[in-house]
Amino acid sequence: MKKLEQELENLKHRIAEMGDLVQSMVEEAVAALSHPQESEHHQRVLADEERLDQMQLEVDKETIRLLTVYGPVAGNLRLVITAARINSELERIGDQTVSMCNHIGLLVSQSDTPPMEQFTGMAKLVRTMLHETLKAFRLDDAVKARATMANDNLVDVINDEVVRELLGVDRKAPGSDPAKDVAASVAQIMISQSLERIADQACNVCEQIIYMVEGTDIRHRG
Amino acid sequence: MIANTADSDTQTAYSIQTRNLDLWYGDFQALKDVSIDVRPCLITSLIGPSGCGKTTLLRCFNRINERYGNVTTTGEVKILGRDIYDKDVSLPELRKSVGMVFQRPNPLPISIYRNVLFGIRTHTSRRQYTRYEYDEMVESALRDVQLWDEVKDRLKDKATRLTLEQQQKLCIARLLPLAPRVLLMDEPCSALDAEGTERVETLIAELKERYTILIVTHNMAQARRVSDECIFMLLGDIIEHGKTAELFLNPKQEQTEMYIEGRYG
């Protein structure tokens, strides 16, 4: 195998490793939804985030080095550019898992209300999307990337439903603290937003996979 | 004579060091106050526009500049910790330790086998090695340059019948029985086609673990691909010396930036 090919394989491998770490962070954040009183999930997400940030810096440095040293063209160039962009998306997904855990903590501290039931279905969709996205990346599979993106609409629908429900229902119970009610509702909305953003970011990764494989930029096409 | 033991490496972190090196061809100064440190087990490229002194500098390291008349050299050049311009330095010993590969492959018009052994036979007495030992040297050297499988059944063929790529690999193999510590390469791929260049570059990368390799190249893409460190020269001066990726990404000197961006040279 040529040296550049080997280096590009290594780069892909490092992105895939980041993907595995991000997946496990999402798993932890989803576990925190099911067990909001257990703080260890939050702790693990925070520890993983440090590793993820470090990996982002390393991959960033590596992509710059590959561009500088090899001046890649065509598919090789698209791979390096794509790796740099996916690197950022994965790091942001990591940030969303931290945000989710923070808001689960806020919810628990302000209210006895558990995280909303809709999150179960939403989380399942998001996990599947992320899993399929990373699989498409490993396999250079643009078809799988396109199919995965279709699930984003379902996540958006649930997110809209959650927001509508929280805005439209008078949740004030007799004797409750209005400030705490608002805080709990905001926390629920933010959790929903985080899941919705993770799905968006998985879509962004899928767009990059399609660009990497086909050279077609499908962003901002409505 | 150049020390040829591992101990010499422990005395210095650098294989090649120059201090205030000046060189004149007649009254033309080709090198100006050159002070560099070249690390072992790395590939270092010398880059710069034509006439900047990179080949002249390379030729200081095995003193073949002296073969040309009217050359004056001052300053210090240390290889493996020893000043090679000391009066008691033996040129044959120096050139055993510091091998050189030229732009155009220059195999001798004798067999492949005898080409590989040419250096060692020149430097040793006739009965120092047995036939078996010579055979082993030839196989080892040709294996090291990834040529053995291609030529093992025709070692008695004339080396001049090999392709240019094979000839250049043979020229590298010819140095290895002498157990050199430093390999100097003056545009070693300039006579080769793209595939030959790629294979010789791969070979050079594999050799770097055992040798200090210094390459002159006018091809910046090659310098970026193959070298760990780069030295940029201009009009006989060292302008910048740094890690290759860093020098091409974030050059510290304006002249370096202008050159690598193709704005002159």
- List C-alpha distances in Å: A183 to A33, A105, B127: 17, 11, 93
Q: What is the tens place of the pLDDT at every residue in A76-91?
A: 999 999 999 999 999 9
Q: What is the mean pLDDT of residues B11-38?
A: 93
Nearest CA in chain B to A70: B225
Q: What is the tens place of the pLDDT at every residue in A155-197?
A: 999 999 999 888 875 555 556 667 777 888 999 999 999 999 9
pLDDT at res. B260: 92
Q: What is the mean pLDDT of residues B60-65?
A: 93
In percent, how much of chain B has pLDDT > 90? 82
Best residue of A6, A7, A65, A73 to probe chain B, by most B CBs closer than 10 Å:
A65
| All domains in chain A, ordered by first residue | 3-214 (1.20.58.220)
Nearest CA in chain A to B195: A2
Q: What is the mean pLDDT of residues B21-39?
A: 96
Report pTM: 0.81
Q: Do residue A3 and residue B225 have CB atoms under 8 angstroms apart? A: yes
pLDDT at res. A176: 65
In B193-212, the residues whose Cβ lies within 8 Å of chain A are 198, 202, 205
pLDDT at res. B5: 40
Whether chain B has a CB inside 8 Å of the CB on A68: the answer is: yes
pLDDT at res. B7: 42
d(CA B162, CA A20): 51
Q: Do residue A2 and residue B198 have CB atoms under 8 angstroms apart? A: yes
Q: Do residue A69 and residue B224 have CB atoms under 8 angstroms apart? A: yes
- Which chain B positions have a beta carbon within 8 Å of A64's beta carbon? 245, 249
Q: What is the tens place of the pLDDT at every residue in B126-142?
A: 889 999 999 999 999 99
| All domains in chain B, ordered by first residue | 7-260 (3.40.50.300)
pLDDT band at A111 (very low <50, low <70, confident <90, very high): confident
Q: What is the tens place of the pLDDT at every residue in B48-57?
A: 999 999 999 9
Whether chain B has a CB inside 8 Å of the CB on A61: the answer is: no
Whether chain B has a CB inside 8 Å of the CB on A154: the answer is: no
